[in-house]
Structure 1
Amino acid sequence: MTQIDQAVDIREGEELDVAVVDQFMKQAIPGLNGVPTIKQYPGGASNLTYQVDYGDKSYVLRRPPFGKIARSAHDMLREARVMQALKPVYPYVPNIVAICDDHEVLGCDFYVMERLKGIILRQDFPKDFELNEADTRKLCLNVIDKLVDLHKVDAKDAGLDKLGKGLGYVQRQIGGWSDRFRKSRTDDVGDFETVMSWLNDKMPADTAQVVIHNDYRFDNVVLNPDNPFEVIGVLDWEMATIGDPLMDLGNSLAYWIQADDEGPFQILRRQPTHRPGMLTRREVVDYYMEKSGFQANNFDFYEIYGLFRLAVIIQQIYYRYYHGQTKDKRFAGFGHAANYLEKRCLRLMGESDL
């Protein structure tokens, strides 16, 4: 059996007070005994995710990053409530077991959910996880199917129809991400003005109003260790909202780096979409359209939007590093990544017939 995804030692400066966590957990969850073991999941550059173990009972605690953060960012309470509402109609959401808005506990809002014990595919397949080309394709299609399933959820039935702001989602995204980029730009990164202008000029109307994940990737999907084709969980609902499904797919494609992509793009790869059998981006779009029933005359807008949005996310993190607000060396090259993504957007814009 392939190794189940595990947490590791906690990064310096991101430790939790074990006694405080223990007291909260025992008040919130009956039947816990002993002192917990706390470790940290290494992935992600935003919210912090910890594994809290009491013997064979295992939980996951999610909290915002340490330090000063924007008031509207890292809303743990919203994420937990979205998950609670979605769970009855989209069973791949982990169960929420406790929510805390008392800042006397950890100095922030946080929540605790069940830990789904399974395989999470990150940059490469695990060493003992070998699939042939046909099986890799089967896995790939199953993962895309879960995004299609999400976009078919009846938001009103789930009580989530008020989660978004209604029509105009595409326009709000282009305006919002453009504003965030301008506020987080550093002197060593391009201005993206040509890209932002193109996106503003080419905006289509909203395709539909559905529940979207906004960060759907392989490393947010949990696979059954006894049957790795089966998706048993979808994680990281921080940015979920009501919005345009093709914008959601465009976000996912920004991370979908395939085997024949150029070297600088390969450096950014964080999921095993380069493996033989994985669909190309074009095949992903065609398959999604066929299964979902949504259509776009030209997907270039959504692909370029996804790359631009990824560039803004990278740049916001790099801004903190550039100004000494974080010393995490993982972020030192993020400025180069943002510059590359600007060049990629410009090239795709030149090739687009929109």
Structure 2
Amino acid sequence: MSDASQKTSDALLDKAGRVREGEELDVARIDAFLKGTAAGAGLSGEPLVRQFAGGASNLTYLLSYPERDLILRRPPFGHKARSAHDMLREARVMQALRPVYPYVPEVLAICDDHEVMGCDFFVMERICGIIPRQDLPAGLSLSPDETRRLCLSVVDRLIELHSIDPSASGLESLGRGEGYVRRQIEGWSDRYRKVRTPDSADFETVMQWLAANMPAGETAIRVVHNDFRFDNVVLDQHEPSKVIGVLDWEMATLGDPLMDLGNSLAYWVQADDDPTFLALRRQPTHLPGMLTRAEVIAYYSERTGLRAQDMRFYLVYGLFRLAVIVQQIYYRYAQGQTKNEQFAGFGKVARYLEKRCLAALAADGPVG
């Protein structure tokens, strides 16, 4: 590759920015910890610390040493749900999955000593590549055919994950599996009620419908990511339609793969959606060449053999779960537990998602 081509390719890599106010790290303590582990062998000086975009859930930092770049993951500052943001579990899930799903980054160090940073955290390898966020990076232009290949590559990685047999792969300890659907509906409903604010959406009609329309059991028991979307995949910088990494394993467990698909489709804003949903878009699924939600369902079903007569339950569940996550973040903002101003409008987002759920319930005929 020529120098000019290499510079163009490097410019597409996902960039970290300045650390947000209130989310700074004690660099000296982290450096000392790392240099006491195998991950710190050969590292010199203290790292330059930058922070990646996002951070509505766990926070992700880039630690740049002269010799190599590392990635640090820690929970958010402020109050967090008792069972959420379990960094030790996320790291161990990644370690268990990596031998059978090579897109998982290698975990290099785990810290449960709160003297270092006041919380559990872990450090992993950096997979250098392109992360497709709200839009593709400036300078990356894909034809509709190339965009379709990118789209299929992303969906194929979800299909590949759902094709892993937990029993044959020694992954039975990742979760309980059976009863997953009921636990999700009851759990997310309980979480929503606990983070209601005076201006929050009601969601009682949606929660009652989900509780009354749960399938009798799981479609199958598979490894589920529980947050599989475009900005959690890493693309090859030289072949942008190729996925080389999958990130953010915080909520991975054993469960119903159609629930995982419903979660992913909650983020899937397509070109013909209403203006409000288009304004909320956080991944480039609107581009010419991208599959629609219905096409994703058909493609997924054909290749996995997993299907439901009516996907309404899974799609409404995905939207409701997303609304709970949004409301949890808004609750932290409303309580003054985070200063990130991007969360100020999340209450309105949750109210809009309730309208989408209610519209799906009112639709005639099968949805999806």
Could you say which TM-score interval applies, normalised by the shorter chain? over 0.9
Can you give the 5+ residue segments of structure 1 that lack an aligned partner in the other structure? none
1:47 aligns with 2:58: yes
What one-letter code is carried by the residue in structure 2 that aligns with 1:351? A
- 8 Å Cα contact 1:312/1:338 also seen in 2: yes
Could you list the per-position Cα deviations for residues 212-268 of structure 1 after superposition, in whole angstroms to 9, with x for gaps in the alignment?
Answer: 000000000000101111111000000000000000000000000001100111121
1:275 maps to which of 265, 287, 297: 287
Q: Is the 8 A contact 1:85 1:158 kept in 2?
A: no
Which shows bigger deviation, 136-145 or 196-205? 196-205
1:33 corresponding residue in structure 2? 44
Moved more, 73-82 or 28-37: 28-37
The answer to whether the Cα contact below 8 Å between 2:225 and 2:249 also exists between their aligned partners in 1 is yes
Checking the alignment, whether the CA contact within 8 Å between 1:96 and 1:111 is kept in structure 2 is: yes
* Over 3 Å off, 4+ runs: none
Cα distance in 2 for partners of 1:190, 1:48 equals 27
The answer to whether the aligner puts 1:145 opposite 2:156 as a matched pair is: yes
Q: For residue 174 of structure 2, give the secondary structure of its aligned residue in structure 1.
A: coil
Change (3 A) 1:56 1:128: farther
Are 2:27 and 1:18 equivalent residues in the alignment? yes
Select which of 97, 118, 134 maps to 1:107: 118
1:107 and 1:347, CA in 2 relative to 1: closer, same or farther beyond 3 A? Answer: same
Q: Shift in Å at residue 175 of structure 1?
A: 0.7
1:137 aligns to what SS in structure 2?
helix
TM superposition score normalised by structure 2: 0.94
Percent identity among equivalent residues? Answer: 63
Q: CA deviation at 1:166?
A: 3.1
How do residues 197-346 of structure 1 correspond to structure 2 at under 5 angstroms?
A: 197-204=208-215, 205-346=217-358
CA distance in 2: counterparts of 1:189 and 1:68, whole angstroms = 19
1:69 Cα deviation (Å)? 2.2
Q: Which amino acid aligns with 2:202?
A: D
Q: Secondary structure at the match of 1:349?
A: helix
Aligned residue type for 1:70: A
Q: TM-score, normalised by structure 1?
A: 0.98
Shift of 1:191: 1.1
Decide whether the 8 Å contact of 2:107 with 2:122 is kept in 1.
yes
Work out the CA distance in 2 between the residues paired with 1:231 and 1:185. 38
Report which stretch shifted further, 139-148 or 195-204: 195-204
Q: In the aligned structure 2, how far is the partner of 1:219 from the partner of 1:44?
A: 12
Q: How many residues align?
A: 354
Q: Is the 8 A contact 2:43 2:66 kept in 1?
A: no
Query: d(CA) in 1 for partners of 2:364 and 2:327?
Result: 25
Structure 2: tracts of 5 or more residues without a match: 1-8
CA distance in 1, matches of 2:180, 2:199: 31
Tell me how far 1:352 sits from its aligned partner: 4.8
SS in 2 for 1:327: coil
Alpha-carbon offset, residue 56 of structure 1: 4.1
Residue 172 of structure 1 is matched in structure 2 by 183
State the secondary structure of the residue aligned to 1:162.
Answer: helix
Counterpart CA distance in 2 for 1:103 and 1:71 is 17
